[in-house]
Structure 1
């Protein structure tokens, strides 16, 4: 509770006026002693009240309100990608250890395990095969669904794949290729291929060959 100076002075004055000097025990015949220094308490109170209005009370300056800090979303800044650039330039810009989503991680994993040692064009073609399957209506409708579809990719074990060194350059390249495929930044020489196999094997598929890139042959 805050008490003003004037109120405090009134309280002090009241207390002074009502105070009584303690009784002094002495000889019964001794007359009371009058001292020249005795002051009338009511006179003190009146003097204090006359001066109360003239006393300047220092006021602590109020701090100026500061503008509220606003958070900046660093992730909102998107990289400006020029799709007219060649494939190596796009890959260099988009290399990252973090695909950004589970679906892109599945797409990157397919590219990584099936073609990490292939030229960039071959990796792009493998990525487009996975994307083409997801869009075809003949396979699962998501990258992860295509990848985990039974009997389609030999590196898949149930709903998982072997460990990936995600700080390695090959994984970061696979992530970049996955982003390029997902955003359709570069067409593939394998066009609308839905299948591929290594050159060293001859499965005898009765399918139309659409391209041969690196160590893979692509079919529709």
Structure 2
């Protein structure tokens, strides 16, 4: 090999070694075209161990519809339907007292009038101006003429009027139907005059309701 040939071979080896060093230099990426650099970054992840890892897509979180997740309250087409949906068993004392007042005060009245009588008693128990429980409201001295010696007379539980009174009382206690006398605290027969400060709320059947 001549001296000239040796020199040429050495120069070629030097250029090749320089090119390899430049490609392995961390700063060499800065000299690439920006578009090319982005393509390389996308095609080759920095961590080569992740190349075979499957891509996990986020699972969408669906909103919860509270209206459909909660059980719907029963709805009735009419007061008659609400009353018909009730059982006739008087399970507790408050229910029996309320049904007794409905039976003795309004058994001959339309269902709306019976419900209004129940509303008066319930409103009194919440008003702070009368006793705080249903039975004490019903048996309060001088308030209801059917009460005898502080007690409600017994009723034959097989009578249709009693069963209806129990059902109406359950509707009132469950607030399953809105009464037109919802704010009333008093009622009397339509033939009687109310007190001077009474405000008329509704007239149903033979009763007028006031607050």
For the criterion TM > 0.5, the same-fold answer is yes
The gaps in structure 1 that reach 5 residues or longer are: 1-79
Please, which of 67, 73, 79 is the counterpart of residue 87 of structure 1? Answer: 79
Deviates more, 1:139-148 or 1:202-211: 202-211
Aligned partners of 2:198 and 2:94: how far apart in 1? 28
Pair 193,203 (structure 1): closer, same or farther in 2 beyond 3 Å: closer
When you count helix as a share of all residues, which structure comes out higher? 2
Q: Specify the alignment match of 1:197 in structure 2.
A: 188
Aligned partners of 2:83 and 2:76: how far apart in 1? 13
Deviations 1:24-64 (A, max 9, x none): xxxxxxxxxxxxxxxxxxxxxxxxxxxxxxxxxxxxxxxxx
Deviations 1:54-106 (A, max 9, x none): xxxxxxxxxxxxxxxxxxxxxxxxxx97233311011112141x211001100
Q: TM-score, normalised by structure 2?
A: 0.63
The residue correspondences of 1:30-49 to structure 2 (distance < 5 A) are none
Give 3-state SS (helix, strand or coil) of 1:164's partner: coil
Segments ≥4 residues shifted beyond 6 Å: none
Q: Specify the alignment match of 1:172 in structure 2.
A: 163
Aligned partners of 1:130 and 1:83: how far apart in 2? 24
Does structure 1 residue 160 correspond to structure 2 residue 151?
A: yes
Does structure 1 residue 139 correspond to structure 2 residue 134?
A: no
Give 1:192 deviation, angstroms: 0.4
Aligned partners of 2:90 and 2:196: how far apart in 1? 34
Is the Cα contact below 8 Å between 1:81 and 1:90 reproduced in 2? no
Q: TM-score, normalised by structure 1?
A: 0.60
Alignment length, in residue pairs? 140
Q: Specify the alignment match of 2:203 in structure 1.
A: 212
